[in-house]
Structure 1
Amino acid sequence: MPESAALARSPERSNTPLDDSADAPIARDVCRGIMRLFARNGIWCLPEMPLRNGRRADLMGVDAKGRVVIVEVKVQRGDLLGDGKWPDYLDHCDRFFWGVPPGLDRSPLDSEDYRPDCCGVIVADGYDAEILRPAPLNPLAAARRKVEIERLSRTALRRLTVAADPECAPWGTGDIA
């Protein structure tokens, strides 16, 4: 069963760039291109990853060195300009990127409001992606990184389990006693 089918039934699902809005096909393409780029570079991602602060990362992944990467996808200029929540992601990753489609005006991402000193930029379509500005490394504390990677792992494993057996969906999100 494809990942999107598992996400459709997931209790974690909410209004995100990968939902059924008019921009969803573009957002899915951007995510797909970024995931291909990352996969070629040993970074494995999960879409729509809920964070402990109540936010949701459009893509969250881990590289071969155990560093956490978050990508916030924006496909419309208005959505980009109206997003005030993105700084909340910085406490949950070692690297942060903006992911945008080729036609989007990226000039706001160069302004101080979008902190180009700590945010990378990736342009992507449904086939590939290119890093236009690398994201600098802002290392998480080791304990925080461990928590983030464990949460990412459990979420990914839960989604795989539900994809394999949808009847598991309503069951425990906690620990086995």
Structure 2
Amino acid sequence: MDTLDPSLPLMPGFRLARGVARAMRSFDFVTVEEFVPEAGLRVDVMALGPKGELWVIECKSGRADYLTDRKWQGYLGYCDRFFWAVDADFPVELLPDETGLIIADAYDAEILRMGPELALPPARRKAMTLKFARHAALRLQALRDPGSVLPGAAL
């Protein structure tokens, strides 16, 4: 295993998300982590592409993490493509063939299997893109001026 930067969070899912976000930039996608498309759902990484496409990437740190995930199919109505991001040691045979597959670590990621296109309806795409933009702006504002974001604001 490679030596990790001590400033990186120790939780494997966060490290996978970091590598995924870095890789998405190489495809000209921007990302938001821990994005809530609607109450009760929280995706690990939402990626917005240069043509407005929305991808959901769920990071799974191991077999138990995947087997206890009961919400992933609910994410399909909020994206154009769905992917699992796992590390090189993950038993990928557990993952459904009809989903995308990304192998990641804390520094990078590689798409091994493209998720099928789900094509969001235009009204849902507009709503999710607006929510993505507002979420990203609130995160940036909270980072730059922590006291400016009201308690309870959706970050």
TM-score (norm 1): 0.78
Q: Which residue of 126, 131, 152 maps to 2:106?
A: 126
Runs of 4+ in structure 1 off by over 6 angstroms are none
Q: Distance in 2 between matches of 1:171 and 1:126?
A: 31
Q: Secondary structure at the match of 1:36?
A: helix
Q: Distance in 1 between matches of 2:87 and 2:112?
A: 12
**What letter is aligned with 1:49?**
F
Q: Secondary structure at the match of 2:57?
A: strand
Q: Distance in 2 between matches of 1:89 and 1:173?
A: 22
Q: Distance in 1 between matches of 2:15 and 2:143?
A: 21
TM-score (norm 2): 0.88
Correspondence 1:39-50 to 2 at 5 A: 39-50=25-36
Q: Secondary structure at the match of 1:170?
A: coil
Of all paired residues, the percent bearing the same amino acid is 36
Q: Secondary structure at the match of 1:66?
A: coil
**What letter is aligned with 2:46?**
M
What count of residue pairs does the alignment treat as equivalent? 147
Compare 144-153 and 163-172 and name the one that shifted more: 163-172
Q: Please give the per-residue CA displacement for 1:98-123, whole angstroms capped at 9, x wherever unaligned.
A: 011111111111xxxx3x22x10101
**What letter is aligned with 1:65?**
K
**What letter is aligned with 2:66?**
L
Q: Secondary structure at the match of 1:71?
A: strand
Q: CA RMSD in A?
A: 1.9
Structure 1 stretches of 5 or more lacking a match?
A: 1-19
Q: Please give the per-residue CA displacement for 1:108-161, whole angstroms capped at 9, x wherever unaligned.
A: 11xxxx3x22x1010101121111111111100011000001001101100100
Q: Distance in 2 between matches of 1:54 and 1:124?
A: 26
Instruction: Tell me the CA shift for residue 169 of structure 1.
Output: 2.4
Q: Secondary structure at the match of 1:70?
A: strand
Q: Distance in 1 between matches of 2:57 and 2:152?
A: 28
Instruction: Tell me the CA shift for residue 173 of structure 1.
Output: 4.5
Give 1:94's aligned residue.
80
Q: Which has the higher contact order (CA 8 A, sep 6+)?
A: 1
